[in-house]
Amino acid sequence: MKNQNTAYSILDLVLVSKGHSLEQTFNNALKLAQQAEIFGYTRYWLAEHHNAPNIASSATSVLIGYVAQGTHTLRIGSGGIMLPNHSPLIIAEQFGTLASLYPDRIDLGLGRAPGTDKETALAIRSDFMKAAHSFPVELEKLETYFSKNNADSKVRATVAEGADVPLYILGSSTDSAHLAAKKGLPYAFASHFATTYLWEALKIYRKEFQPSSHLKKPYVMAGVNIIIADTDKEAERLSTSLIRMIVGIFTGKRDYVQPPTDMTPDLMEVMQNPQVRQMLKYSFIGSKSTVKAQVKEFLEQTKADELIAVTNIFDIKDRIKSYRLFAEIMKELK
């Protein structure tokens, strides 16, 4: 079983719970990161999303700096920056600056999706589709700006040249697997919501991987939904907030994260929907012993080098407790 040295990390969308202000939401994100540092997590990543009232991680680079300022050893980064939304030059300058402020702690995970709806993507960048199709080229531009060899170029990101900012390729299909393998970069698959191509993508990445100056052998990171409580019933109750979020995604009626309730027949019916079941295939919900068995099986199957836990729970105390119990599981599985 490939979990002897499996790292464990957090992906946070900085969800806005009903009745919570943005200031409270951001403070809770920092509180979670501070606890994650104590629990032994490797990294804390923030996702880039736009035009969603229940997601507050839209200014990703700004929040990375905020969380890094309030922590000491935890790696802080993006999971990810949606590169087609941005100029590679600007991203290099932002993350080069972060790397100077917080040495050896900043990660740059990169994706090609917009992280929003079509209309908002076009509002962010009118030529978004062209940039998305040019993702490999945009990635090369970014790498150039981080290179010391760019010092003689007419266009420079001077604060980024030579900065220690590891790059990661994020993906939810097979396209990114080919790219990550070709570039010899770590590969993070979004199996916490995009489950269909997990196995095919991992197979491609490992088979095609070319060693690079960044990485000598493949490094796989896999996203999983984690909700852990004292009992299976309590974890099921906490998961009702996640289920309502998913209903909002499918109906186009996104709302703030709702408080948990007892499981209802209507919510149970939602859970049986084929699309929802597929989306939540790698969601481990239950008591510590229940989730431990599920995580152990997932690691045996994927041989992932690192798990990135996504815990969409209404209350910060319950979220922190779930992440504490998940850390205990990962330590026990070593």
| Spans of all domains in the chain | 7-232+283-333
Encoded tokens for 228: 């852990």
Separation of alpha carbons 138 and 151, rounded Å:
19
- The per-residue pLDDT string of the chain (334 residues; one tens digit each, 9 = 90 and over) reads 344 589 999 999 999 999 999 999 999 999 999 999 999 999 999 999 999 999 999 999 999 999 999 999 999 999 999 999 999 999 999 999 999 999 999 999 999 988 888 898 889 888 888 888 899 999 999 999 999 999 999 999 999 999 999 999 999 999 999 999 999 999 999 999 999 999 999 999 999 999 999 999 999 999 999 999 999 999 999 999 999 999 998 888 889 999 999 999 999 999 999 999 999 999 999 999 999 999 999 999 999 999 999 999 999 999 999 999 999 999 999 8
- Topology classification of domain 7-232+283-333: TIM Barrel (3.20.20)
CB 12 within 8 A of CB 57: yes
Q: What is the pTM of this model?
A: 0.95
pLDDT score, position 89: 98
Strands (E), 47-128: 75-82, 106-111
Element (DSSP H or E) covering residue 100: helix 88-101
Separation of alpha carbons 134 and 334, rounded Å:
41
CB 82 within 8 A of CB 90: no
pLDDT score, position 118: 86
pLDDT score, position 4: 57
Say if residue 155 is exposed, middle or buried (CB neighbours under 10 Å; 0-12, 13-18, 19+): exposed
Buried b (16+ CB within 10 A) or exposed e, 231-249: eeebbbbbbbbbbbbbbbe
